[in-house]
Chains A and B, each alone.
Chain A
Amino acid sequence: EPEVTQTPSHQVTQMGQEVILRCVPISNHLYFYWYRQILGQKVEFLVSFYNNEISEKSEIFDDQFSVERPDGSNFTLKIRSTKLEDSAMYFCASSEGLTVEAFFGQGTRLTVV
C-alpha cells in the first residue's frame, strides 16, 4: 500500500541551527502538507503546497519556516534558527485532491537542545 515516507525519524539539533525535514509523498498525490504536534497537544496545521507554491499557511508558519519541492518526489520543510519551542513531531501529509482524505507519514521527532 502506498505511504508517505519521512526522514529522519528523529533529529536532534542545537538551538539556532537550521534543520531540513524530508518527505516523500504518495506518488500520484498533488497536495502536500506539513503539520506539527507538540508533545501532549493537538496536531496543528502549518502549511499546504500545491502546484509548486504555498496555497495556505497558518500563523505558526512565519519567516523561520520554508517549504520546497526540489524534485518530482521530495517535499521538504526547512526551519531556520531553531528555538527550543520548535521541539515537536512534524508530520508530512499528502492528498490526491482537495476534497479527498489526506494521508500522513510517521513523523519526524525534532528535539532542539
Chain B
Amino acid sequence: QKEVEQDPGPLSVPEGAIVSLNCTYSNSAFQYFMWYRQYSRKGPELLMYTYSSGNKEDGRFTAQVDKSSKYISLFIRDSQPSDSATYLCAMRSNDYKLSFGAGTTVTVRA
C-alpha cells in the first residue's frame, strides 16, 4: 500500500463549480497536512496547512482532515480558470520529510 494515495484525475469542472480533492494515507503517525498548488514546470506553492484533525478555511479554500479515517480533503469554492493547476497533498509526522501524493490535475473551464 502506498503511503499517500491521490487520484491523479484529470478533473474538469465549469467555472463557478466546487472542486473537491482528496487524499488517503496509511501512516498513522502523520500529523501535519498540507495542500500545494503546482503549475506546469514550477515549484509547489503552499495553499493550506493544518495540524491534526479538523477544518481550516482560507477564502475560497477549505481543508479538512479526518485522522480517524486517514483522509484529507481540499475544497475550492467558486472555482476560476486561474485555479487550473495540479494540486498536491503532502503530509509528515515528526520527522523532517514531506510525503507527497501524486497530484490531481484540475481544469476549470470558462
Q: Contact: B43 with A107, CB < 8 Å?
A: yes
Beyond A33-B96, A43-B88, A55-B96, whether A91 also contacts B101 by CB under 8 A is no
Interface size on B, residues (CB 8 A): 23
Instruction: Give chain A nearest CB distance to B25 CB in angstroms.
Output: 13
B38-77: which residues lie under 8 A (CB-CB) from chain A?
41-46, 49, 51
Beyond A42-B100, A43-B100, A99-B32, whether A104 also contacts B95 by CB under 8 A is no
**Residues in B lying within 8 Å of A, measured CB to CB:** 32, 34, 36, 41-46, 49, 51, 88, 90, 94-103
* 17 further contact pairs, Cβ within 8 A, besides A31-B96, A48-B96: A33-B97, A35-B98, A42-B101, A42-B102, A43-B90, A43-B100, A45-B97, A45-B98, A45-B99, A56-B97, A58-B97, A98-B94, A98-B96, A100-B49, A101-B46, A103-B46, A107-B41
